[in-house]
């Protein structure tokens, strides 16, 4: 049940992260509608016709602060869930497997009638 819970959390955080990244890029696209956008960019060289992705994300962070906050929170949450899932997986691997009929020396029930068991 625990792996399913981890997968649901990762899916929800991943979808939220993806949607807010797209939203931030859409919000940052407003940068080109400003007349002096080339003076407000940090990463885009002065000769470019369109701002770089990093400049659009910075513009979105400056003018729409909730979207980058959600992106950071979702990223940290995704990392924490991945770390917890990996720790759980490691603890499951280190457990000794339950004994089974295949590992015992008693043999299997249908082997009793076989002649010449070593």
Instruction: List pLDDT tens digits, range 68-98.
Output: 999 999 999 999 999 999 999 888 888 766 6
Domain ranges (residues) in the chain: 2-93
What whole-number percentage of the chain has pLDDT above 90?
A: 51
Q: What pTM, to 2 d.p., does this model score? A: 0.69
Distant-in-sequence contacts of 71-80, Cβ < 8 A, 24+ apart: 71/17, 71/20, 71/21, 71/24, 74/13, 74/16, 74/17, 74/20, 75/17, 77/9, 77/13, 78/10, 78/13, 78/14, 78/17
pLDDT of the residue at 107: 55
104 falls in which pLDDT band (50, 70, 90)? Answer: low
């Amino acid at each position: 049940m625990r792996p399913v819970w981890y997968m649901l959390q990762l899916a929800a955080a991943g979808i939220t992260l993806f949607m807010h990244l797209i939203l931030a890029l859409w919000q940052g696209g407003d940068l080109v509608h400003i007349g002096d956008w080339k003076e407000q960019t940090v990463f885009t060289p002065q000769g470019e016709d369109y701002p770089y992705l990093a400049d659009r994300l910075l513009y979105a962070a400056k003018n729409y602060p909730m979207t980058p906050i959600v992106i950071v929170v979702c990223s940290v949450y995704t990392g924490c869930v991945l770390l917890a899932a990996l720790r759980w997986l490691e603890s499951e691997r280190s457990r000794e497997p339950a004994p089974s009929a295949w590992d015992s020396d008693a043999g299997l029930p249908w082997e009793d009638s076989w002649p010449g068991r070593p």
